[in-house]
Chain A
Amino acid sequence: MWKLIKIEVFKIFKKPRTYIAFIAVWAIVSLIQIAIYADGQKYMDFVLKDVKDNFLVIGDPLNGYFVCFVILQTLLIHVPLLVALISADMIAGEANMGTLRLIVTKPQSRTKLLLSKFIASSVYVLMLLLWIAVIGLFLSMGIFGTDGLINAKSSEIILINANDIFWRYLLAFAFAALALITVAALGFFFSIFAENSIGPIVATMSVIIVFTILSTLEIPLFEKIKQFFFTTHMIAWKGFFEMKENADGESIPGTIRNLPAVLRSAGVLAAHTVFFVGASIFIFKRKDVLS
């Protein structure tokens, strides 16, 4: 199994298309960093427009942690497409190339083949997130320095001390990994039905877009069912940047306001992943390979 995983990872990183995602992420992150570096104060004034008359902001709110927060909010909408580019290609791409029939005739079980392919796509997801962390977090910390983070929500503004932020990012990236692995599992699932990767990529993105729209519509029917959509839970990483409050309404450092809700979201994502991968294996084991 380990050898199979190594082979699949090797194949992923030998494909030129794999690097499209890394280049795209670098381009988006660089543009955001340049824009904030050049004109960040105006953006910060806009974020703080409702509170700047009532609060005295001490320190530099326009720091690396804040820039990374902006980057993550922007990227985690687009990264699923980059993940689908690879995961939806895992089986369909082999069928399209004509190599699927060759690997299925090797003395390896179809379950092992599929699991190794899925694990390899998960490795790709982790590498992509590591790349986002390096250029989005660490490079931003280097360029803009570190200080407290201002998390501006529609109903409140949360201020997090500089020494209380880094561990939140680690957890946020871990959660984002889980969310993107779920996307990878969905792309992987569609991949077993097709003989070229365009269909599975489009299908994966369509599901994400439709579910995201349904999640945001405040219609009673959708309110009841949207808790079952994995897309509803993909943004739960933001929960790591909210803190519990004491009786005086002051934030308590080192706390997460609604950890059970975040863990529940993680559970829903994990369950979806297991379902998509399990269904893929169940169907593929019985599938005639005609490509």
Chain B
Amino acid sequence: MNTIIKVSHLSKQFKELRAVDDLSFTVQEGDVYGFLGQNGAGKSTTIRMLLTLIAPSSGTIELFGYNLYTHRKEILQQVGAVIERPDLYKYLTAFECLSIFATMSGLKFTKTQLMEQLELVGLSARANSKVRTYSQGMKQRLGLAVALVHNPQLIVLDEPTNGLDPQGIADMRNLILMLSRERKKTILVSSHLLSEVEQIANRMLIIDKGKKLVEGSVNELFHPDDTIVLLETTDKTLAEKTISQSDYAGALVQIDASGLELKMSRDAVPAFNRFLVEHKIEVKGITARHTLEDYFLKITSANQHVEAYKN
């Protein structure tokens, strides 16, 4: 399998701020690569360096096996991107916008091809409407059409579901999965939501303060054995006593005001539920979540507390 993106020891310094710090990762052909981090973690700066919007302070970026800065034009012909908000020319129609960016990509297009592209993102009926009349979701889809119009091998999406309603988020997710499965595109998608990345990515990277925290396949990182079960009962003392005297004693991780936390395989949750019923423990709620989610929430909330303190 070919390496599509190879980032080595990438750093970016903005005056006092080190936005990206010695970051290295690789994206293989066909990957949907989740790039995860809280707001301000350095995701957008990294993506902007991948797209030559920002020059790195140090480190190298190779795309398709070539140095990005020595083969910029050839590489960017194979890259499509939606960067943060999908801002386009509000005074032009969707068709005109798409036509402009198609031409700028250096290839020739027919009207039919452009309309097909708008059809793909569900905008062909509004092709001649001004972009200013579009909803946020429609603009996001048009942004994606612009990114796809030159049939790139690599698609870079920076927070593609920002500002979308639930239906828009689901549509965007399905579109990304379709592009990966049916059109065999390599996709780098950034997000600050773990659940979002978990649903679409096969590999992922979590960064914080510009540094790599975790990288790996989603299946490895979301291993079913690493599930945390939060149990809320009417009688916490009885529940604690019963569990402590059972085979589940070793799984008990923590007891706090919200309930009892146990670490176990996701497959073991139904049996544990039966155990609680058999021992007449009244269950108010039972929630399974992954330890990675805990880890991510921990780093996110830790930083939020610092920000709150600063404010």
* Chain A interface residues (CB < 8 Å from chain B): 3-4, 7, 10-11, 14-16, 97-99, 101-109, 286, 288-290
Contact = CB atoms under 8 A, between A and B. Distances in A.
B87 interface: yes
A141 to B, nearest CB: 36
A101 B105 contact: no
Interface stretch (B49-57, B173-181, B256-264, B284-292): B49-57
Contact of B77 (A7, A10, A98, A107): A107
A289 B87 CA distance: 15
A14 B91 CA distance: 7
Contacts of A288: 48, 53-55
A14 B77 CA distance: 27
B146 interface: yes
A10 B84 CA distance: 26
Interface stretch (B24-32, B96-104, B198-206, B216-224): B96-104
B10 to A, nearest CB: 14
B83 interface: yes
Interface string B273-301: 00000000000000000000000000000
B228 to A, nearest CB: 39
Dominant secondary structure at the A interface: loop
A288 B15 CA distance: 13
A119 to B, nearest CB: 16
Interface stretch (B68-76, B110-118, B164-172, B303-311): B68-76
Given A3-B103, A4-B104, A105 B51 contact: yes
B255 interface: no
A4 B101 CA distance: 10
B105 A105 contact: no
B54 A103 contact: no
B54 A290 contact: yes
B81 interface: yes
Nearest to B97: A99
Interface residues on B, range: 20 to 34
Contacts of A10: 100
Contacts of A11: 89, 92, 100
B61 interface: no
B90 interface: yes
Contacts, number: 78
B92 A14 contact: yes
A99 B106 CA distance: 18
B264 to A, nearest CB: 46
Contacts of B51: 101, 104-105
A211 to B, nearest CB: 33
A286 B72 CA distance: 15
A105 B90 contact: no
Given A102-B83, A102-B87, A107 B76 contact: yes
Given A97-B89, A102-B87, A102-B146, 10 more contacts: A11-B92, A14-B92, A16-B91, A97-B88, A99-B87, A99-B89, A102-B83, A106-B101, A107-B76, A288-B54
Residue among A14, A98, A107 having the largest count of chain B Cβ atoms under 10 Å? A107
B87 A97 contact: yes
Interface string B236-264: 00000000000000000000000000000
5 contacts: A7-B100, A7-B104, A102-B101, A105-B53, A107-B76
B236 to A, nearest CB: 51
Shortest 8 CB-CB contacts between residues of A and residues of B: A98-B87, A107-B76, A289-B53, A106-B104, A288-B54, A105-B51, A107-B77, A107-B73
B55 A105 contact: no
A98 B97 CA distance: 13
Contacts of A14: 89, 91-92, 96
Contacts of B48: 101, 288-290
A288 B79 CA distance: 19
A54 B52 CA distance: 73
B140 to A, nearest CB: 13
A290 B77 CA distance: 22
B104 A289 contact: no
B85 interface: yes
B124 to A, nearest CB: 21
A11 B74 CA distance: 26
